[in-house]
Structure 1
């Protein structure tokens, strides 16, 4: 009886070891998923920084007039009343 129990436990241990190393969701799959997780976390942190900058810019556009004025001047070429605008063109831009 004692030998049968030892044999049964050895078979169960062997099956568990096989499943751990070669079965579905084995150790190599675990390490691959871990690597993908690290890469995605790095990508997420980069995207989070970009989103934070965009949220800050959006909040500045809603709350402050300086950002709107800066955008209007740089993107649309707008100027204030009684203000003179001079555009200097370098030789490289003329060619």
Structure 2
């Protein structure tokens, strides 16, 4: 409900509690994984399964993790816009590489 102040001001019972999926552990030695944090501008028009499929396909062409994460976020943004999202769209993609040294 970030940005939908007019709905919150009407006292219609909307909450600002995010949907949180289950915790997944990425074991060392696994291929890189990703995490998507996005507003409902994406999720209203693109399903979780579709996001996972798009990113899995894009990950096959992976290069530098930071560059890939930006390209992945851009890909998801395009999907939301093409899906005619009527809400604000915020997307962050994190590339998780198990066993990576800091």
**TM-score category by the smaller chain?**
under 0.3
* Structure with larger RCO (C-alpha < 8 A, sep 6+): 2
Greater fraction of residues in strand: 2
Greater fraction of residues in helix: 1
TM-score by length of 2: 0.23
TM-score by length of 1: 0.24
Give 1 or 2 for the bigger CA radius of gyration: 1
